[in-house]
Each structure stands twice: as structure tokens, then as C-alpha cells.
């Protein structure tokens, strides 16, 4: 199991369910590069149950609204309330967080002896009654279940279903984190602002107790040769991509010391995630575009559902099939809607764009957070399955990182 947000959440959920869990991470230490993450109520309810409410409140920022704006004049297209309104409706808060803050909260809740860094998975064998995982540095581990939370280039998925290629979606993203002090003159609201424009969009919001402003600038591009979360970008290139955009957008980009750039890849929904005693989680199972801000939340949901399935079903293959059955339709729908938002966000100025803007300005139900009730009210741990409670040993191995 990778040591990213999804992998650590799954490990903690499984420990709380009474399982004997060990987490294996390829990197030499647990870390997240500078970027923000949205923790919506469907994820925060699960993290609160894991005892992380104080940690989330300490560094998370509760946005007042989703504020969608036009790229050139800054005109408001839609302002959907969050904060108190969202918490009152769904019972749990929405947080904007630095990924590193969320990862640190999860890691601190796990016993250090359960997390093993510097382990690159090279292969595994399902022997029927147990799984054997093999690592580059020599050790072999036997377990009842192998969980691959090893990201979009998952070695566990490749071992299950053979090699495949992620799809380049025609978008690249510049991302950066700016000290909020540098932007004080802009009097930024505590909202998640999404600026929509031809062939690109721009998102910014506060993180880390409002000490920083996170931004993501997504630009359509014809091709890309590699995918990485750590490729150094150019502030100048990002500014050039947003030439002519509203001054607030350009000032936020220009205030960054550095940017990173990465291509956005996804995969079509898999027909299945599991085989025997091996299954997948997060981007390894359902990589999606970030245009619903649900990538991390869905990985968190996966962990909660898997823990409940394994807690209540004695026969591991049945438990993993049930996990796949309850999760695959929901995540496939998220993938589809996220991909569709790329088109809606990036419409060229013209009749279709004006129709979209008119619907949003009129407060169309399709754009309000009420229309996302199926996302936010969902409790991934409420899995109805038969079987008796049990304890089992779970050794989850993976390489790479969760996104």
C-alpha cells in the first residue's frame, strides 16, 4: 500500500476495524509536495471518525463558498455557499488543506511500526490461501490481503491485469503555493475561486490555516511526454498562458517563487479491481481528472468501505468482490463527471459559453451544491454485507504515491 493520503487512510481504517495492517511505501520517507487538496463532507466524516477532527481543524480552512468567475472581467457566474451551510446540511465540514498537513495528520495517527518506507514492490503471487509480496531490497512478505494504493502507474494493477497506458487528457497544470502575506493587498475572500476561460481555468484557495494561498492553473495542450508531480515549471510560462486574464489571476501567479507543472492523465473505468486476495484503491483503481475535487476524497472513501467489508466478511475473495461492487459504480460516475467538467470549464467564448454562463448566473440547480448531495451525503462505511466479524493479517504493498 502506498504511503499517500489514500494508503494511510486505508491503513488507519483497517487498524480501527481490528486488522493487522502494515504499509509499504517506495519512497524513503512519507512526504507530499506543495499542493492543496479539498476534503469535502463525504471524506471529513470518515476522517473525523478516525479521530482526526482536531488535526483537520488546526490546519484546514473552511471556505465560505465556491465562487466561479469569468476569466477576463471577474464577473461572478455562480456563488454556492459552503462553510456553515454545507456543514448544516451534511453534518460535517468542508476543508481546504495542504496535502502535507493532511498526510502528517494521518501519519501521526498510525503507529510508526506499521509504516515501512524504502520498499519498492517488484511482484506478488496469490497462493490461494495467502499472498506473497516481493520487494526490490529483498524481503518477502506473506499476508491475507494485498492492497495496491500505488497510484496511476500502479504496479499492483499491472500485476493483476497486465500492462496498460494512462491517457493524456490534453491538459497540463501549473501549481504553486504563495505566502498569503504577499497577496494581502488583494483582500482575497476565504472562498474556493474558479475562473473559467477559453481552453483553460484557474483555481485558488487558502490552505494551512490561511497562511498560504494554493493555486492550480490548468491549460489545454496537444501533447506531453511524461507525467510527474515534481517537474519544475516556469512562473513566466504560467503567466504567459494567462495573458489577458483578470489582474487578480496574474498577480497570484506572479507572486509565486516557483511552480511545478504536470500533465493530467486518467484511465477509463476498470471493469473490476480485484482478483483473489488482491485489490486496488484510489488512483490505482480509478484515476480521474481533478475537476470535481474528489480524487483524494474517493480514495478516503475506498479505505473506509474496504475496512468494513473485510471486518464483516470471513471469506476474503467475497469481501473484496463486495468492496469492488459497492465502490466501482460511484467512482466510475465521478470519473465521467470530472472528465465532462473539462469541456464545461474550457468553453471558448461564444454561444455555448454564454448559455453556460446564463444558467450559472441564474443559479441553475445543475451548478448548485445541492445537486451534489449524492457526493457529500454519502457514508462509504455504511456497507451492508453478511458474514461474521473477524481479525486478519493485511500486508499492503505498493510503490509510488497517491494523488
Identify whether 376 is a catalytic site residue: no
pLDDT at 210: 97
Q: pLDDT band at residue 371, thresholds of 50, 70 and 90?
A: confident
Residue 255 lies in a domain: no
Torsion sign, CA atoms 242, 191, 175, 266: negative
pLDDT of residue 399: 33
Residues in the chain: 403
If one counts the domains in the chain, the total is 1
pLDDT tens digits for range 314-353? 799 999 999 999 999 999 999 999 998 999 999 999 999 9
For residue 329, being part of any structural domain is answered with: yes
389: pLDDT strictly greater than 70: no
For residue 259, being part of any structural domain is answered with no
Which range has the worst mean pLDDT, 123-137, 266-280, 362-376?
A: 362-376
3-state secondary structure of 22: strand
Phi and psi at 279, nearest 5°, equal -150, 175
Q: What is the CATH number of the domain that holds 124?
A: 3.50.50.60
**Max CA separation in the chain (angstroms):** 63
Q: How does DSSP assign 216-278, residue by residue? A: EEEEE-S--S---S--B--HHHHHHHTTTS-HHHHHHHHT-S--EEEEEEE-PPPS---BTTE
- In angstroms, the CA 108 to CA 11 distance is 12
Residue 141 lies in a domain: yes
Question: What is the dihedral sign for C-alpha 142, 147, 152, 158?
Answer: positive
Which class for 196: exposed (0-12), middle (13-18), buried (19 or more C-beta within 10 A)?
buried
| The pLDDT of residue 392 | 44
pLDDT above 70: percentage of residues in the chain: 91
What are the tens digits of pLDDT across the range 70-106? 999 999 999 988 888 889 999 999 999 999 999 999 9
- Among all chains, which residue has been given the C-alpha cell 531490497? 137
DSSP string, 26-45: SSSS----S-EEEE-HHHHH
Phi and psi based region of residue 213 (left: phi greater than 0; alpha: psi -120 to 50; beta: remaining): beta
- Say whether 78 sits in a helix, a strand or coil: strand
pLDDT level of residue 295 (50, 70, 90 thresholds): very high
Mean pLDDT for the stretch of residues 378-382? 94
pLDDT in tens, 214-265: 999 999 988 765 555 457 788 999 999 999 999 999 999 999 999 998 888 8
Using the predicted structure, report yes or no on whether residue 284 has a pLDDT greater than 70. Answer: yes
Closest CA to 375 of 306, 269, 308, 295: 295
- Judge whether 233 lies within some domain: no
The closest of 183, 239, 170 to 210, measured between CA atoms, is 183
When pLDDT is cut at 50, 70 and 90, the band that residue 42 belongs to is very high
Neighbours of 154 (CB within 10 A): 27
Residue 369 pLDDT > 80 = no
Q: Which three cell numbers stand for residue 335?
A: 470519473
Nearest to 293 by CA among 23, 115, 41: 41
Q: Which residue is catalytic, options 205, 242, 260, 323?
A: 205
Contacts 24+ apart (CB under 8 A), 160-164: 160/275, 160/278, 160/280, 161/270, 161/275, 164/267
For residue 64, what pLDDT band results from cuts at 50, 70 and 90? Answer: very high
Rounded distance, CA 228 to CA 215, Å? 17
The mean pLDDT value of the chain amounts to 89
| Contact between 37 and 290 (Cβ < 8 Å) | no
DSSP code of 118? Answer: S
Q: Residue 116: is its pLDDT beyond 60?
A: yes
Structural domain range at position 288: 5-166+267-396
Domain-located, residue 201:
no
3-class state of residue 69 by DSSP: strand
What's the distance, CA 398 to chain centroid?
A: 17
The string of pLDDT tens digits covering residues 188-206 is 999 999 999 999 999 999 9
| Model pTM above 0.85 | yes
Question: Does 198 fall in a domain?
Answer: no
336 within some domain: yes
Residue 49 has pLDDT above 80, yes or no: yes
Amino acid at each position: 500500500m502506498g504511503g499517500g493520503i489514500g494508503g494511510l487512510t486505508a491503513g488507519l481504517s483497517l487498524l480501527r476495524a481490528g486488522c493487522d495492517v502494515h504499509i509499504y511505501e517506495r519512497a524513503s520517507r512519507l512526504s507530499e509536495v506543495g499542493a492543496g487538496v479539498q476534503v469535502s463532507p463525504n471524506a471529513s466524516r470518515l476522517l473525523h471518525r478516525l479521530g482526526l477532527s482536531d488535526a483537520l481543524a488546526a490546519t484546514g480552512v473552511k471556505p465560505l463558498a465556491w465562487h466561479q468567475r469569468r476569466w477576463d472581467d471577474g464577473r461572478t457566474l455562480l456563488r454556492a455557499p459552503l462553510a456553515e451551510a454545507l456543514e448544516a446540511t451534511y453534518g460535517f465540514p468542508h476543508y481546504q488543506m495542504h496535502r502535507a498537513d493532511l498526510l502528517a495528520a494521518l501519519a501521526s495517527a498510525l503507529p510508526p511500526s506499521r509504516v515501512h518506507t524504502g520498499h519498492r514492490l517488484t511482484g506478488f503471487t496469490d497462493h490461494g490461501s495467502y499472498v506473497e509480496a516481493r520487494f526490490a531490497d529483498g524481503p518477502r512478505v506473506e499476508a491475507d490481503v494485498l492492497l495496491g494504493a500505488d497510484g496511476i502507474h500502479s504496479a499492483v494493477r499491472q500485476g493483476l491485469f497486465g500492462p496498460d497506458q494512462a491517457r493524456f487528457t490534453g491538459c497540463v497544470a501549473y501549481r504553486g503555493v504563495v505566502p498569503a502575506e504577499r497577496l494581502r493587498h488583494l483582500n482575497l475572500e476565504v472562498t474556493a475561486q474558479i475562473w473559467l476561460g477559453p481552453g483553460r481555468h484557474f483555481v485558488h484557495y487558502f490552505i494551512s490555516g490561511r497562511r498560504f494561498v494554493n493555486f492550480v492553473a490548468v491549460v489545454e495542450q496537444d501533447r506531453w511526454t511524461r507525467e510527474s508531480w515534481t517537474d519544475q515549471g516556469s512562473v513566466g510560462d504560467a503567466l504567459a498562458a494567462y495573458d489577458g486574464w483578470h489582474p487578480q489571476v496574474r498577480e497570484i501567479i506572479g507572486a509565486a517563487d516557483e511552480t511545478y507543472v504536470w500533465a493530467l492523465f486518467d484511465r477509463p473505468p476498470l471493469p473490476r479491481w480485484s482478483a483473489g486476495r488482491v485489490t486496488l484503491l484510489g488512483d490505482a483503481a480509478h484515476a480521474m481528472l481533478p475537476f470535481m475535487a474528489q480524487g483524494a476524497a474517493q480514495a478516503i472513501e475506498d479505505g473506509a468501505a474496504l475496512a468494513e467489508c473485510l471486518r464483516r466478511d470471513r471469506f476474503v475473495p467475497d469481501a473484496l468482490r463486495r468492496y469492488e461492487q459497492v465502490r466501482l459504480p460511484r467512482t466510475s460516475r465521478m470519473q465521467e463527471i470530472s472528465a465532462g467538467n473539462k469541456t464545461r470549464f474550457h468553453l471558448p467564448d461564444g454561444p455555448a459559453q454564454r448559455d453556460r454562463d446564463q444558467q450559472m448566473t441564474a443559479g441553475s440547480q445543475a451548478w448548485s451544491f445541492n445537486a451534489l448531495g449524492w457526493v457529500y451525503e454519502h457514508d462509504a462505511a455504511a456497507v451492508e454485507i453478511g458474514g461474521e466479524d473477524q481479525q486478519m493479517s493485511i500486508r499492503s504493498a505498493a510503490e509510488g504515491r497517491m494523488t
